[in-house]
Chains A and B, each alone.
Chain A
Amino acid sequence: MTMIDEDALHSLAMGAAVLSAGGGSFPYLEHLHAREMLRGGARVRMVPAESMDDDALVAMVAMVGAPLVMLERLVDTDHFVGAARGLSRYLGRDFDAVMGCEIGCLNAMIPVLVAGSLGLPLIDGDTLGRSFPQINMSSFAINGATMAPMVLSDIRANEIIVSRAADADWTEILVRAAATALGSVAGIATPATAGFIKRNAVIGSYSRAIRIGDTIRAAQRAHDDVVARLLAENEGCELGRGRISDVERRIEGGFVRGEATIMPGVSGPPIKVAFQNEYLVARRDGEILSTVPDLLCLLDLTTGEPIGTESLRYARQVAIVSLPAMAEHLTPRAIAAVGPRAFGYDFDHITPHRQQGDRT
């Protein structure tokens, strides 16, 4: 068991921004809100899934919607606790613990807020190991779960329950439509037993985020090269660096999609990074350099901090970094769910990293 104190919270927020693959920058507002909660006396215990009884009931929580919206609507604990409370009412059972659906960016902080507010332990794990834009890309869904029942809560008095779904693809379709109607942001909660979590979740992702955050913060304090330290400790590689010369964005079906163009510092063709909430594909001159499920990340060249797609701005200086995909995301079923074709591309996973199969 680990207590999430202010220092761990800070590293968690930083590491979660890296694991978000562009889904968000440092979650300042959520971190601020969670820190105020800790200073107000709330205690958040982080426990391994292994420590829970198999039949313990866990509230899986997250924010569904566009991260950009959270920069304006700001985080509100009640909004997210509301989904867990609604689910508890619907099931007629109390929860034993809270776990996050997604370790990426602000979604890493929501479970901390909910666990702190409900006084429940937080399980060290999630269902993605990073960020993906859709519910049906979670390890639960890849392993056949429907993710229903799922409760959505709103800032107003609206509560929506998807009581049954044909499969996780339908849960995604229904929840996305409802979230868009609620202003492209909603709190969600879905139940899972600890036994199911042990078999199907990405275990230890909170610890990993805290470790990555510790690395970045230590490098910043020592004025070391953050990009180099991060790559060394995570077997990643740099695809290029330069100045953002154009950012195109459009809203499609509740997602912000678009493309950033980065002009290299000295000369040579630009690198284009396409995104749908997260970075998906990096290309140079039509040559595909790296695709999902590789973890693509844009780091600020001055501070070394990860940059979310919502903060891409003309003239920013960035390094484009690729970290290897997790083994869980390289199985044929996983590639079908989270590979380039799942995002509408007509090519397969292309990566600069050694594949797991390459290792002997």
Chain B
Amino acid sequence: MMRIGLDVGGTNTDAALLDGTRVVAAVKTPTTADATTGICNALAALVERAGPETRSARAVVIGTTHFVNAVVERERLNRVAAVRLCLPASSSIPPFIDWPDDLRNEVRADVHLLPGGYEVDGREIAPFDKAAMEDVARRIADSGVPAAAISGVFSPLRSDHERAAAEIMERLCPQVRVSLSSDLGRTGLLERENVALLNASLFELARTTITAFRAAIAQSGLAAELFLTQNDGTVMPAELAEQAPVLCFSSGPTNSMRGAALLSGRSDGMVIDVGGTTSDIGMLVNGFPREANGVVEVGGVRTLFRMPDILCLGLGGGTRIRTDPFRLGPDSVGYRLTSDARVFGGRQLTATDMAVAAGRARIGDAVGVADIGGALLSAFDGTVRSMLEDGIESMKTRAGDLPVIAVGGGAFLIPEDLAGVSEVVFVEHHDVANAVGAAMAQICGEVDRVFTDMTREAALAAATEEARDRAVAAGACAQSLKTVDVEDLPLAYMPGGARRLRVRVAGELADA
């Protein structure tokens, strides 16, 4: 079955056509200011390379940094009203309290605290106040904000109050799009609420971005279904992604790591993805990125949801080099590499120029770097080595040498003999590993519900079975399914040893 993977990064848009697990063709094109044009260009280049069979692809899977970049850059975000169902509890630490000032100023609209939410045993903290919520919904409608986030105490346990509030919003202000904390995050009110607030702040961007993606696919003459990749290396249909843009936050590094696994045929090791501006280091475990432990800060905001554990270093192909005294980065010429770098006739000295001067890469014209001396080259080599070796060491979970899989357009910057590394694996198509990873992203099945009158083992088995059935129904190959997440919350307030179980399984797309 043919699939197209696209990775829309800040600098490049990469595309890969896969037949099963075989890479048929891959291209690298510049990202454009408007997403449609960039993707059209990439798809056109892919058709040119692979021929008209490209158009028979059944799925286009896109990984994009649009959403996380908007949060990091504090741009293209819409304002969000916050509704928290908690009173008389949880009022001392209000929504947005620990956000960086600039981001808070960009996003925060009115904050409303209302009676409601649940105790740990499932009783109501206070009854849901319908009249008060209707009043809040009207005020939100009058304020003209396009989005709202609703959080409630212990909503992962019981989301009834959050849903009741959402229904009132739907009835009284249907133009305001609503994000519920119980749909996105885990136990931990402030962090789960932050995820819902960030998600709601991206609604307008998500709509325009996904509309642009769809237009590009249509304009390219493809009839494929559109998927977006998620933080955990699985895909979701575009309609769902529009509701949950936060789940796409870290799909760039995730896709690179999944692509590295496929291209190298290895399921464990360290992956280094060297791009134009930065290098991402992540640990591959059973073919998936290791998940971050607990809270992850995004743009300075604490969040608690499914994210990969990634270390980002300021080393990329476009990283600028100063010579007197020697200094590496942290700035990069970015997408201007092909005009500004010395080997491309420009005046800026970059990491790519150093690699060419050292004979590690053949890019552009080496005449531009003929004057680079040995002292400078050894300073560069030493700095790069210590950066990467320290980074790899800090991502290791135990002592001992590990293989490194080198991917990304700047993979040639990675020395072959790093300390603490058993071998550095270079692979074909390394420069489009992220697009390959997007195309290969897995289908998942999830069950999240209450099981009663069963032993824990029986409930776990039943939940896993259900999750597997759902994944297979969504197109996954049953033999390839693996459990990727298990969460278990006992519900003491309900009879019959009730527990809420969340089980996620993921596997390869089955051949149609």
Which residues of A line the B interface, CB within 8 A? Answer: 25, 28-29, 32-33, 36, 66, 68-69, 71-78, 155-156, 180, 183-184, 223, 241, 243, 246-251, 265-266, 300-303, 310-311, 313-317
B106 at the interface (CB under 8 A from A): no
CB distance A32 to B93 under 8 Å? yes
Q: Determine, out of B52-60, B255-263, B347-355, B487-495, the stretch whose residues face the partner at the interface.
A: B487-495
9 contacts between A and B (CB under 8 A): A74-B90, A77-B92, A180-B121, A183-B123, A183-B125, A184-B121, A249-B490, A251-B492, A316-B294
Q: Complex formed: what's the CA distance from A74 to B93 in Å?
A: 7
- Residues from chain A with a CB closer than 8 A to the CB of B486 are 246, 314
Closest 6 pairs (CB-CB, A-B): A251-B492, A183-B119, A76-B92, A74-B90, A73-B89, A317-B397
B323 at the interface (CB under 8 A from A): no
Which residues of B line the A interface, CB within 8 A? Answer: 86, 88-93, 97-98, 117, 119-121, 123, 125, 153-154, 187-190, 290-291, 293-295, 302, 309, 390, 394-395, 397-398, 456, 485-490, 492
Say yes or no: A183-B121 contact (C-beta < 8 A), given A74-B189, A241-B398: yes
- Residues from chain B with a CB closer than 8 A to the CB of A75 are 92-93
Output the least CB separation between B117 and chain A (Å): 8
Chain B residue with Cβ nearest A30: B93
Q: Complex formed: what's the CA distance from A68 to B492 in Å?
A: 14
Task: State which of B295, B394, B395, B488 has its C-beta within 8 Å of the C-beta of A248.
Answer: B488
CB distance A302 to B93 under 8 Å? no
Output the least CB separation between A290 and chain B (Å): 21
Q: Complex formed: what's the CA distance from A77 to B295 in Å?
A: 24
Task: State which of B88, B120, B153 has its C-beta within 8 Å of the C-beta of A184.
Answer: B120
CB distance B90 to A250 under 8 Å? no
Q: Complex formed: what's the CA distance from A73 to B97 in Å?
A: 15
- Residues from chain A with a CB closer than 8 A to the CB of B395 are 302
Given A183-B120, A241-B397, 17 more A-B residue pairs with CB atoms under 8 Å apart are A28-B295, A32-B93, A66-B120, A69-B119, A72-B154, A72-B187, A73-B153, A73-B189, A76-B89, A155-B125, A183-B121, A223-B394, A246-B486, A248-B488, A302-B397, A313-B294, A316-B294
Chain A residue with Cβ nearest B153: A72
Say yes or no: A76-B91 contact (C-beta < 8 A), given A184-B120, A265-B398, A315-B291: yes
- Residues from chain B with a CB closer than 8 A to the CB of A76 are 89-92
Interface of B is mostly: loop
Q: Count of A-B contacts with CB under 8 A?
A: 107
Output the least CB separation between A143 and chain B (Å): 33
- Residues from chain B with a CB closer than 8 A to the CB of A33 are 92-93
Output the least CB separation between A131 and chain B (Å): 19
Q: Complex formed: what's the CA distance from A250 to B125 in Å?
A: 21
Output the least CB separation between B87 and chain A (Å): 9
Q: Complex formed: what's the CA distance from A71 to B93 in Å?
A: 11
Q: Complex formed: what's the CA distance from A174 to B292 in Å?
A: 41
CB distance B89 to A302 under 8 Å? no
- Residues from chain B with a CB closer than 8 A to the CB of A250 are 490
Task: State which of A156, A180, A249, A300 has its C-beta within 8 Å of the C-beta of B488.
Answer: A249
Q: Complex formed: what's the CA distance from A300 to B490 in Å?
A: 25
Chain A residue with Cβ nearest B151: A72
CB distance A249 to B153 under 8 Å? no
Q: Complex formed: what's the CA distance from A76 to B125 in Å?
A: 15
Q: Complex formed: what's the CA distance from A77 to B92 in Å?
A: 8
The winner among B89, B91, B485 for most chain A CB atoms within 10 A is B89
Q: Complex formed: what's the CA distance from A241 to B293 in Å?
A: 15
CB distance A302 to B293 under 8 Å? yes
Chain B residue with Cβ nearest A302: B293
Say yes or no: A68-B187 contact (C-beta < 8 A), given A32-B97, A75-B93, A265-B397: yes
Chain A residue with Cβ nearest B91: A76
Q: Complex formed: what's the CA distance from A316 to B293 in Å?
A: 6
- Residues from chain A with a CB closer than 8 A to the CB of B89 are 73-74, 76, 155, 183
Q: Complex formed: what's the CA distance from A32 to B194 in Å?
A: 15
Task: State which of A156, A243, A251, A313 has its C-beta within 8 Å of the C-beta of B490.
Answer: A251
Say yes or no: A69-B398 contact (C-beta < 8 A), given A249-B490, A314-B485: no
CB distance B154 to A301 under 8 Å? no
Output the least CB separation between A238 and chain B (Å): 12
Q: Complex formed: what's the CA distance from A300 to B291 in Å?
A: 13
- Residues from chain A with a CB closer than 8 A to the CB of B295 are 28
Output the least CB separation between B273 and chain A (Å): 19
Chain B residue with Cβ nearest A310: B187
- Residues from chain B with a CB closer than 8 A to the CB of A25 are 294
- Residues from chain B with a CB closer than 8 A to the CB of A28 are 295, 302
- Residues from chain A with a CB closer than 8 A to the CB of B98 are 32
- Residues from chain B with a CB closer than 8 A to the CB of A184 are 119-121
Q: Complex formed: what's the CA distance from A184 to B154 in Å?
A: 13
Q: Complex formed: what's the CA distance from A29 to B398 in Å?
A: 31
CB distance B90 to A73 under 8 Å? yes
Output the least CB separation between A263 and chain B (Å): 12
CB distance A71 to B397 under 8 Å? no
Output the least CB separation between A27 and chain B (Å): 12
Output the least CB separation between A155 and chain B (Å): 5
Q: Complex formed: what's the CA distance from A248 to B460 in Å?
A: 11
Task: State which of B190, B309, B487, B490 has its C-beta within 8 Å of the C-beta of A74.
Answer: B190
Q: Complex formed: what's the CA distance from A20 to B200 in Å?
A: 37
- Residues from chain A with a CB closer than 8 A to the CB of B294 are 25, 300, 311, 313, 316
